[in-house]
Amino acid sequence: MPELPEVEVTRLSFADRIAGARIASAWLGQPLRWPLGVSAEVLAGRTVKTVRRRGKYLLIDLEGPPGLLLLHLGMSGSLRFASDLPPPARHDHFDLVTDRGTLRLNDPRRFGAVVYAAAEDAATAVKLLGALGAEPLSGDWDRRAFHAGLKRRHASIKQVLLAGDVVVGVGNIYASEALFLAGIRPTTQASRLAAKRADRLFDAIREVLSRAVAQGGSTLRDFSNADGQSGYFQLQAAVYDREGQPCRRCSALVRRLVQGQRATYFCSVCQT
């Protein structure tokens, strides 16, 4: 599924182009994970102010009057933004038609969502965003707060990263990669990480996510940004999806285990 880097790459690929655009209309296809919450006609005539990201949500700020669209790509969703899109096809479920182009959500599995909220502090938005952890790519992310959050959790460090309440957006691919870079075995209990190891993980998360954004994210199946471009981070992954292949650092074989129904990849020599 699209993780934080893929969502950020998607945002970067269209945010500047749609900012200032006037909405002509909106169209809804088959129902998604959650309803829009208002009639699609309510969006017409408004202007797109900015496009932000919170965790794996894209936040489209509207004005005239103010409002907010929260977009989630779910398991298989992707966005396209162009002035020459063809008519909606089977797996297209939302079009935001503007005077600068159409923003379209395609989602074969329909776990994605487009939700309207009157403001970020409205009950609808708080329900979706209120429990999210710190933003790992933000300059405000604090390493001492990160370590304190880990100290309160007794689950494995991989599961804590995926939970998203200590730090947001470190999904399955990037959790495996960050733990490898930090030299931490994914089954280690989060609360048992000493400050120095938590610091290494803090830095590794930032490095891995930043590199992934620079590489356009990861395209394991069909992810592409709003211009239709694929990502390439998966080609340089150290452990993810490399079971039985030599570790890029020590040449021991990469191992795989299942945690919470998700595959985890690690090196038993480099990660302790």
- Residues with a known catalytic role: 2-3, 56, 262
Q: List all residues 6 or more positions away from 200 whose beta carbon is below 8 Å from its beta carbon.
A: 182, 183, 184
Peptide bond into 66 cis (omega under 30): no
Q: Which of 202, 196, 192 is nearest to 146 (CA)?
A: 202
Question: What torsion, rounded to 10 degrees, do the Cα atoms 61, 62, 65, 67 define?
Answer: -50
Query: Which residues have C-beta within 8 Å of that of residue 77, sequence separation ≥ 6?
Result: 2, 105, 106, 107, 109, 111, 112
Q: Across the strands, what pairs with 69?
A: 60, 116
Nearest of 212, 170, 206, 173 to residue 190 by alpha carbon? 170
Any idea what the Cα angle at residue 135 is, between residues 77 and 70, rounded to 5°?
A: 40
Q: What is the DSSP letter of 202?
A: H
Query: Kind and range of the H or E element at 49?
Result: strand 47-54
Contact 153, 183 (CB under 8 A): no
- Per the listing, tokens 């650092």 go with 249
